[in-house]
Amino acid sequence: MQEAYNVRTMPAKAQNGFSLRRLALSLAAVVVVLLLAPYVIVPFYRFVEPVSTPMLWRWATGARVERTVVPLGSIAPALPLAVILAEDASFCHNRGIDLGAMREALGSADDFGEARGASTITQQTAKNLFLWPQRSFIRKALEIPLALWINLVLPKRRVLEIYLNIVQWGPNGEFGAEAAARWAYRKSSHDLTAQEAAELAAILPNPVQRSARAPGALVRRLAGLYERRAAAHPALDACVRATSVARPVLL
């Protein structure tokens, strides 16, 4: 009652200042909750299959989403290797970020402050799970600690399994390796050949403009490069090869 009395007897200017402070504190509390929520949620992704923010956005806007979650052991081994070679060759030994690649990217930022490239698979997983696709220093500032946390609380095998099941791989809402394989080749991801896996890896930067169903010259050239690299570095995916313990899948 005393507080209410004080507010009522305040001059109008003081009441406005008091209201603005309360609004600012409320907004700050909301921001803190939103920033901390991913750190609470991520450990549960050892057992729960997550969805990505692009999937959620498409669902919210009524757009098509096609995804079938498959365990890493059910995906042709050529695909994880091709994706590691194409997206993050240091995946098995980095801690979620690649400082050398980040320094190169910062040095090549354009005049508008847009950070380019340098995202590890773990960073891309963080971006897809919790952030937005547009490149910016703000997104990077949020993405980097998230990637470090994901790398700390989830095994490498699980990080790659999540990534392969949430990344967009087709122009019409095809998410994950299984939907990608069925869209591009009319087969399961379990049956992908080394060439097909390399083609899918080649379209990941832009699955809308690049196609594995009808690969252009750039996709074919990149796929050939990834196939040669896979032959030269067959152990680059060693950290994700161990058979995982059977676990329940909660959708």
Structure tokens at 100: 């050398």
3-state secondary structure of 175: strand
Q: Which pTM value belongs to this model?
A: 0.84
Spatial CA neighbour of 58 closest among 159, 128, 163: 128
101 and 129 co-located in one domain: yes
Statement to judge: residues 82 and 97 lie in one domain? yes
Strand partners, 48: 250
On whether residue 168 sits in a domain, the answer given is yes
Q: Which of 48, 64, 83 is the last residue before a domain boundary? A: 48
Domain of 171: which CATH number? 1.10.3810.10
With left for phi above 0 and alpha for psi between -120 and 50, is residue 62 left, alpha or beta? left
Q: Is residue 251 included in any domain, yes or no?
A: no
Q: Which residue has the higher pLDDT, 243 or 123?
A: 123
H or E stretch covering 6: helix 2-9
Three-state SS across 184-239? HHCCCHHHCCHHHHHHHHHHCCCCCCCCCCCCCHHHHHHHHHHHHHHHHCCCCCHH
Pair 149, 218 in one domain: yes
Q: Per the structure block, which two tokens stand in for 56?
A: 């959620």
Q: Does 27 share its domain with 80?
A: no
Residues 69 and 84 in one domain: yes
Total count of domains within the chain: 2
Residues 158 and 42 occupy one common structural domain: no
In a domain, residue 249? The reply is: no
Query: Does residue 250 lie in a domain region?
Result: no
Backbone angles phi, psi at 232, to 5 degrees: -80, -25
pLDDT of residue 66: 96
- Contact in structure between 123 and 143 (CB atoms under 8 Å): yes
> What is the tens place of the pLDDT at every residue in 115-142?
335 689 999 999 999 999 888 889 999 9
Q: Which of 24, 48, 72 represents a domain boundary (last residue)? A: 48
C-alpha to C-alpha distance for 74 and 207, rounded to whole angstroms = 23
* Domain span at 73: 50-240
Look at residues 164, 81, 82 and name the one whose alpha carbon lies nearest to residue 122: 164
Same domain, 10 and 117: no
Residue 231 lies in a domain: yes
pLDDT at position 117, please?
52
> Do 163 and 197 belong to one domain?
yes
Do 105 and 217 belong to one domain?
yes
Q: CB under 8 Å to 96, separation ≥6 — which residues?
A: 120, 122, 123, 147, 148, 149, 150, 151, 152
Q: What is the CA radius of gyration of the chain?
A: 22
* Shared-domain flag, residues 41 and 59: no
The 10s digit of each residue's pLDDT in 63-122 is: 999 999 999 999 999 999 999 999 999 999 999 998 776 656 555 444 333 333 568 999
